[in-house]
């Protein structure tokens, strides 16, 4: 019995150590907060918590990030960096643009989520309150 107890406590200790040293999985990665108060001066909806890391694992970078030249996406996925001015959607979609910032987000996010559902691949948020959480 004492032997059993001892091996249990060893096991418990090992589990504890494992929990402490295991790097945080991608699901726990800090999400991006999508909020553009300078564009949406009168914010009507709460900011959107976007699990970027999760999307990075699932979808090609260039299905979301783009820089069109003659209709061709000229971005190099390996060159995407935080400091890149072309990373912010607002850099090109704020102001008087063909696709305004709200539509840019809604078309991209909802467009894909809808397609995921209709093709039976996954279910992803499509309701206002699922993205604009209070
Ligand atoms: C599902 C869409 C989507 C995918 C896929 C995606 N991104 Fe993003 N990414 C975004 C959005 C939206 C933002 C925030 C843009 C903004 O703030 O206007 C962002 C922001 C970023 C940033 C800035 C991060 C920060 O901390 O502010 C980097 C760097 C980046 N993406 C690189 C990548 C790379 C590299 C990939 C592919 C491995 C990728 N992204 C895939 C949508 C996406
Ligand atoms: C470097 C400039 C630039 C950046 C940054 C940018 N876009 Fe665009 N986007 C464009 C241009 C140019 C078009 C083509 C329509 C137009 O002329 O406005 C476009 C078109 C779109 C469209 C229409 C469908 C399509 O892909 O053609 C959506 C949706 C969109 N952008 C969403 C986004 C989102 C979301 C982000 C941030 C992750 C983003 N864009 C970042 C320049 C940009
Ligand atoms: C190209 C496809 C694609 C695009 C673009 C996309 N998503 Fe998603 N998203 C998915 C898929 C697929 C899932 C479901 C993953 C799963 O649960 O298996 C998802 C799930 C989510 C979830 C739920 C995460 C969870 O923990 O259940 C949120 C929130 C979300 N997306 C927000 C966004 C936002 C905000 C944007 C736009 C900035 C966006 N997505 C753009 C494909 C996409
Ligand atoms: C898949 C996620 C998603 C869903 C679902 C969604 N939105 Fe959004 N929405 C966004 C993102 C991302 C932005 C950009 C947020 C920002 O930059 O402040 C945005 C921006 C907005 C804005 C402009 C910013 C503001 O607060 O004034 C409004 C208004 C808005 N959404 C309303 C709605 C309504 C109404 C619905 C339901 C019919 C809805 N959204 C569903 C992701 C979503």
Domains present along the chain, CATH in parentheses = 25-131 (3.90.10.10)
Using the predicted structure, report yes or no on whether residue 2 has a pLDDT greater than 90. Answer: no
Ligand nearest to the CA of 123: 3
Q: Residue 101's pLDDT is what? A: 97
What average pLDDT does the segment 36-59 reach?
A: 94
pLDDT in tens, 5-31: 566 565 555 555 555 444 444 445 799
Q: Report the C-alpha gap between 134 and 126 in whole angstroms.
A: 16
Return the best residue to mutate from 124, 125, 126, 129 for the ligand 3 pocket (most ligand atoms within 8 A of CB): 124
Per-residue pLDDT tens over the stretch 100-109: 999 999 999 9
C-beta of 28 in contact with ligand 4 (< 6 A)? no
Taken in order 37, 38, 43, 45, is the CA torsion positive or negative? negative
* Distance in angstroms (rounded) separating the CA atoms of residues 92 and 67: 9
> Any residues with CB less than 8 A from the CB of 63 and at least 6 apart, and which?
112
Average the pLDDT over 25-50 and give the result.
86
């Amino acid at each position: 019995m004492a032997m059993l107890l001892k091996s249990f406590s060893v096991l418990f200790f090992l589990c504890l150590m494992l929990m402490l040293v295991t790097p945080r999985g991608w699901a726990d990665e800090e999400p991006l907060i999508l909020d553009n108060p300078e564009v949406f001066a009168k914010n009507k909806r709460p900011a959107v918590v976007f699990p970027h890391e999760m999307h990075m694992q699932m979808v090609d970078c260039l299905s979301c990030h783009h820089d069109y030249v003659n209709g061709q996406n000229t971005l190099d996925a390996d060159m995407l960096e935080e400091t890149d001015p072309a990373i912010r959607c607002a850099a090109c979609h704020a102001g008087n643009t063909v696709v305004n910032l709200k539509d840019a987000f809604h078309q991209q996010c909802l467009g894909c989520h809808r397609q995921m559902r209709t093709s039976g691949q996954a279910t992803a948020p499509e309701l206002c309150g699922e993205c604009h959480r209070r």
